[in-house]
Chains A and B, each alone.
Chain A
């Protein structure tokens, strides 16, 4: 089945540790996105990538890093510089062309203890 997978579904880390969230898609989509969701705040864009080996900062990129070495994969690293990392993280992809919507993965809930 085509789709987007995120792993793990739940992740616990100690404060000060970096952690990497996985996002894989087999939809042959060019564009991929990372969002952070906090209660009552909707989704905020962290990073996006329109093409392999290229990515752009979103609205809240500080404390996060990404890579796009393969079309199918767009991992997000939450670094120790992120002041409040506990949140629900959503990955999405799209064909990257006009009028095309985004397709979302199931999300990863990160809790920093």
Chain B
């Protein structure tokens, strides 16, 4: 399968920026996704980026894509306690028949 790697934990103070990183192995992926999971719940789509873009901004969220290094990052500006959750990057494969998810990064926002 696809290898999608993320660090497991990130801790920041409220108001700081958070940067969550993801690396993947398949360079043919056309879209890359970020999902958020709150405790005991399913995953919600946060944002996505098309592979011919370097950057996408959506309010407090900025996605950066380095295709050469197969590196994806999610920056959350002015992080709030409500942003505390697990964040997953996801890479589709097999013509979107399968999605491969990273292990998830647990973001802890301290007041």
Contact = CB atoms under 8 A, between A and B. Distances in A.
Interface of A: 4, 6, 31, 33, 35, 40-43, 45, 48, 50, 56, 58-59, 90, 92, 94, 96-107, 109
A99 B101 contact: no
B97 A48 contact: yes
B1 A50 contact: no
Given A42-B88, A42-B104, A104 B44 contact: yes
B43 interface: yes
B10 interface: no
Given A42-B103, A101-B33, A94 B44 contact: no
B110 interface: no
A99 B43 contact: no
Given A42-B104, A43-B101, A99-B96, A59 B8 contact: no
A92 B88 CA distance: 15
Interface of B is mostly: strand
Nearest to A105: B42
Interface in B34-62: 35, 40-45, 48
Contact of B102 (A42, A58, A100, A104): A42
A107 B96 contact: no
Contact of B43 (A45, A58, A90, A94): A90
Nearest to B44: A104
30 contacts: A31-B97, A33-B99, A35-B101, A40-B8, A41-B103, A42-B88, A42-B101, A42-B102, A42-B103, A42-B104, A45-B98, A45-B99, A59-B1, A90-B43, A92-B43, A96-B96, A97-B96, A98-B95, A99-B31, A101-B48, A102-B45, A103-B45, A104-B35, A104-B43, A104-B44, A105-B42, A106-B41, A107-B40, A107-B41, A109-B40
B30 interface: yes
A99 B48 CA distance: 10
B42 A94 contact: no
B107 to A, nearest CB: 15
